[in-house]
Amino acid sequence: MSYAKGVYQRSNLERVFIVFYLPLVIVGYGVYKCHELVVQLGWVHDVRSFFFLDKHPAFWYGLGYTALVCFIAGKVVVQGKSPYKKGKNPALSRYQRAKFTSIFVAQLLFFFLLPFVIIPWLKGQDLFYDPVAPTTLDAYVYVSKAFTSWGGIFYVFGLVPLSVWFFGKRYCSWFCACGNLAETIGVTSWGKNWVKHKTPTSPRAKKTEPLQTLLLILGLAYGFVLFFDMLKLFTAESLLLAGKYYQDIAVDYIFGALVGVGAYPFLGTRVWCRFGCPLAKGMELFGRYAGSKFEVVANENCKGLNLCSQACPMGIDVAQYAHKDKTPIQGSFGLNQTLCIGCGGCIDICPKDALSFKPINKIVTPNRIE
Ligand code: SF4
Ligand code: SF4
Ligand code: SF4
């Protein structure tokens, strides 16, 4: 899978931004993810040295992250212009309006107000109470929560697969806290170029995708240790601690944050989602083997412009399902063939309206490419 990406010249402003962005990501995520480790190592004596205005770094990180995501998502909805289509005033489709509204609400309500304001308030705590709600402090949140609380288990092993059944991996482009940043940055003017020109599309990149399977296996193994510990069937404190450090430092900080977010300008916005996230691999496997009714289909309008492939943040060569040598083949794809997260970028960018979402089994796909 590989397609032409064109030459991309960064502006001077973008270059200056990158010079500041990288140290900011390294230090910012370092403080957010590793401050407790720094204290344990004795490099800093009081954890509150990392607090600002008496608030935990997680609060400030959550506030800045939420403000950025909500600003971009809100702007897209209020302006009503498609961030994908070219032209003077391309209208925002109903799908994209719903997606960006969902991102705005999910980020603000579930990933900021709930953990930082509503839960402390329900517990009768002052807004400036610290430490903040522990929901925000666990690294590698899907593994920790999915194996240590019945609510988390129901969510990850019940609700998420159910959503995959009906909506494919739209969870990743409509709801997930990590995906919300990727999705909104991906429609800014720089972000669109990072997706278009920097998303890895070579056969070697494709061969790297199974790394996610490895992380899923490690995540499940650690998750079962946590689960047995929760049930008091098994306790190995040193194993749990080693697993936590592996999660916090290797997976969450280095891979998820430094590579996942720090590499936006160099590898596109979905490095972690495509190569790292164990939940994504779980959803993909569920969609592939247990089922998903979600699919992208191409019609006979395709002119072989390949814009759809360039717009895909997951590095999917969408055009190969739409045409062969500029002749429409009306193919389709879902989670049984690709990592599609249902962002709709390929559909919106197509000037020929050649792509759409359809539930599987309700369409005819005569030329499906395997
Ligand atoms: S791949 Fe994982 S981190 Fe990315 S949006 Fe999906 S669930 Fe979230
Ligand atoms: S589906 Fe649209 S964007 Fe993709 S190749 Fe065909 S005409 Fe071009
Ligand atoms: S194939 Fe289209 S809908 Fe799926 S992830 Fe890529 S751009 Fe988004």
Ligand 2 neighbourhood includes 308 CB (under 6 angstroms):
yes
pLDDT of 348 higher than 90: yes
Task: Parse the chain into domains and list their residue ranges.
Answer: 138-292, 293-359
Residue 320 in tokens: 């190969």
* CA dist 35 → 10, 62, 254, 262, 309 (Å): 34, 16, 14, 19, 41
The pLDDT value recorded for residue 194 is: 96
Cα–Cα distances (Å) from 108 to 24, 68, 85, 150, in that order, read: 23, 11, 27, 24
Bigger pLDDT: 130 vs 50: 50
| Confidence check: pLDDT of 151 > 70 | yes
Mutate to test the pocket of ligand 2, among 302, 333, 367 (most ligand atoms within 8 A of CB): 302
Using most ligand atoms within 8 A of CB, pick from 296, 307, 317, 336 the residue to mutate for ligand 3: 296
Cα separation, 164 vs 339, in Å, equals: 12
What confidence score (pLDDT) does residue 295 get? 93
Average pLDDT taken over every residue of the chain: 86
Per-residue confidence band for 363, with pLDDT thresholds at 50, 70 and 90 = very low
> Any residues with CB less than 8 A from the CB of 237 and at least 6 apart, and which?
none
Amino acid 351: pLDDT: 94
Binned at pLDDT 50, 70 and 90, residue 129 comes out as: low
Whether residue 317 is predicted with pLDDT greater than 50 in this model: the reply is: yes
Angle at 148 between CA 291 and CA 253, to 5 degrees: 85
Which pTM was predicted? 0.88
Displacement of CA 119 from its chain's centroid (Å): 25
Which of 141-150, 239-248, 271-280, 356-365 shows the lowest per-residue confidence on average (mean pLDDT)? 356-365
Residue 233, pLDDT > 50, answer yes
For residue 319, pLDDT over 70 is answered with yes
Distances, alpha carbon 86 to alpha carbons 71, 91, 95, 189, 198, in Å = 22, 10, 17, 12, 20
Q: 355 or 117, which is more confident?
A: 355
Report how far Cα 326 is from the mean position of its chain's Cα atoms: 32
Of ligand 3's listed atoms, the one at least distance from the Cα of 345 is 7
Q: Which ligand is nearest to the CA of 99?
A: 3
CATH architecture of the domain 293-359 equals 2-Layer Sandwich (3.30)
- N residues, the chain: 370
Q: Which three-class secondary structure state does DSSP give residue 141?
A: helix
pLDDT on residue 257: 86
How far apart CA 58 and CA 264 sit, in angstroms, is 21
Q: Indicate if the pLDDT at residue 61 is higher than 90.
A: no
When pLDDT is cut at 50, 70 and 90, the band that residue 49 belongs to is: confident
Q: Is the CB of 279 under 6 A from ligand 1?
A: yes
Task: Using pLDDT thresholds of 50, 70 and 90, give the confidence band for residue 135.
Answer: very low
| Maximum average pLDDT range among 75-79, 202-206, 359-363 | 75-79
The predicted-structure confidence for 160-191, as pLDDT tens digits, reads as follows 999 999 999 999 999 998 999 999 999 999 99
Does the beta carbon of 305 lie inside 6 Å of ligand 2? Answer: yes
Chain-centre distance for alpha carbon 267:
14
Alpha-carbon span 143 to 356, nearest angstrom: 34
- pLDDT tops 80 at residue 311: yes
pLDDT computed for residue 320 by the predictor: 95
Sign of CA dihedral 68, 11, 77, 161: negative
Residue 248 CA to its chain's centroid (Å): 18
Mutation pick for ligand 2 pocket among 305, 327, 347, 367 (CB with most ligand atoms within 8 Å): 305
